[in-house]
Structure 1
Amino acid sequence: MSRWIVYFEDTPAMLPVRKAKGAEHIAYLKKNSETILIGGGLRSVPESPFVGGLWVVEADDYDQVLTLVLNDPYFTPEHRSFKILAWGKALDRSVNL
């Protein structure tokens, strides 16, 4: 099992998709919470519109992570690009979020 991050970058046209599919997306994250350990939206500054997102994933391989991305209700390739990267944590401690 390896750790991965998925970095999502949105176009401004993704904002209506977020509004329309937000509940489905959150349900998807909850359903996959044993694999998608942390997920959240990214903003340029607090309270500004979302410009992307980030997941920390624990999965066997790249293809498993890719399948998670492609099945997410937010998957809209014309409005959202993504990168999947293997990740090695430097610090391994509990964080209360």
Structure 2
Amino acid sequence: MKKTYTFTNANGTFVCFLDYEEEGDFADFLSLVCGKLELEMPQIAETPYSLVAEFDYGGARLSAAYSTDAGCHLRIPPNTKMSAQTIVEKCFGLAA
């Protein structure tokens, strides 16, 4: 079963984690991502529209967020060398 959905627009590449679609899932989502990427848990900020946490990984400043449109997702900024495939492979292996 597919675990992620990836799309790209002018704001970067977004990796949506399909098992984490609710706002209440955000802390678990962030724990999974940070655990798999071997990062310390960043502080979660609450904005008027979403929950957000930022961290550095692989030379890029990634944003983890929850929004009603995309569920829990990571944003990879445009013009960075980090790929969505790298993130997915680190989190789920090659078959995700």
TM-score (norm 2): 0.31
Higher relative contact order (CA 8 A, sep 6+): 1
Give the greater-gyration-radius structure (CA). Answer: 1
TM-score (norm 1): 0.31
